[in-house]
Structure 1
Amino acid sequence: MADKTDELLTNYYSGVIDSLIYLRRMELQWQPHDDDNIGGSRAINKISRPFDDLVIKYESDQVLHELRNQRDMIKRIEASWDDTTRDIVRMHYDRRDRLTWVLISLRMHLSERTCRSYQKAFKDSVSEALTGLNIAV
């Protein structure tokens, strides 16, 4: 990878960020069994609200918050670009397909240089947004 922006875009288009969000949510849902009733009777004033507790965990978790911010920021930028640029960027950064610039240019019916310039413009806009929003990469 050339830089952090390339790594972030590769993770986004390869589905890594969505997988990390899912795994983090599963980690937060897991509850070890802590027996609060060792040697005593049942607590009368203990309120159990598992759903509310889980929502509070999701909202207060910094790792989950950063991953969502990264994903949502790329989605917003991606929606503002035309279909051709989105397709080129998706084909370039999706590591599941492993497409070269020659294959991308053949599929898009554009020159290789034009495809690279579309990708660079998109990458620059993402880098600018990352800097402006101060999102950790």
Structure 2
Amino acid sequence: MKGIYDKLEQKLRDHALLKKEITNRKLELEFAKVADGNTTAVQTSNGNSDPVGRLVEKWEMDGDLITMKRRYATIDKFMKEIDESHRNIIKMRYMSREVVSWATIANRVGYSEGTCRRIRKESLDKLANCLAWES
């Protein structure tokens, strides 16, 4: 079970970077070269040879991009749906620039360290259910 929590914690830490990764993946697809070195020039499935249409279709068909966007949206929705005090604990622990100790988090939210850890576990369990589609 610890391995699952480690993966979920990492996804929370990576959440802020995920938006940048999505942008980078879109750029990779936009400037992708085919094997012969030419830029990709494929007609869209509806017969459209519009470059913007081709690019959007690439984005819509790329599995990596789809997964990143879905994970970002799932975590974003999860964070909006959980209780504000729980959200603050998760943000301080996983989404801040520095690692915040449990003692500091407990002091800031007015709970005991044990309560903060319990909230963390409950929140990670909820997040695991939200991200079950990834496994």
User: What TM-score does the superposition give when structure 2 sets the normalisation length?
Assistant: 0.79
Unaligned runs of 5+ in 2: 40-47
Q: 1:10 aligns with which of 10, 13, 21?
A: 13
Q: In the alignment, residue 11 of structure 1 is paired with which amino acid?
A: D
Q: In the alignment, residue 7 of structure 2 is paired with which amino acid?
A: K
* d(CA) in 2 for partners of 1:95, 1:89: 9
* d(CA) in 2 for partners of 1:64, 1:82: 29
* Range 56-65 or range 3-12, more displaced: 3-12
Q: Percent identity?
A: 27
Q: In the alignment, residue 49 of structure 1 is paired with which amino acid?
A: D
Q: Contact 1:5/1:126 (CA < 8 Å) preserved in 2?
A: yes
Runs of 4+ in 1 over 2 A off after TM superposition: 31-35
Shift of 1:98: 1.4
Unaligned runs of 5+ in 1: 36-46
User: What TM-score does the superposition give when structure 1 sets the normalisation length?
Assistant: 0.78
* d(CA) in 1 for partners of 2:104, 2:78: 25
Structure with the greater alpha carbon radius of gyration: 1
Q: CA RMSD in A?
A: 2.0
Higher share in helix: 2
Q: Secondary structure at the match of 1:99?
A: coil
Shift of 1:3: 2.5
Counterpart of 2:134?
A: 135
User: Which one scores higher on RCO, CA 8 angstroms, separation ≥ 6?
Assistant: 1
Q: Secondary structure at the match of 1:67?
A: helix
Q: In the alignment, residue 11 of structure 2 is paired with which amino acid?
A: L
Residues 86-125 of structure 1: pairs in structure 2 closer than 5 A: 86-94=87-95, 96-125=97-126
Q: Contact 1:28/1:58 (CA < 8 Å) preserved in 2?
A: yes
Q: Contact 1:69/1:135 (CA < 8 Å) preserved in 2?
A: no
Shift of 1:95: 5.3
Q: Deviation string for 1:81-103 (max 9, x for gaps)?
A: 11111110011112522111111
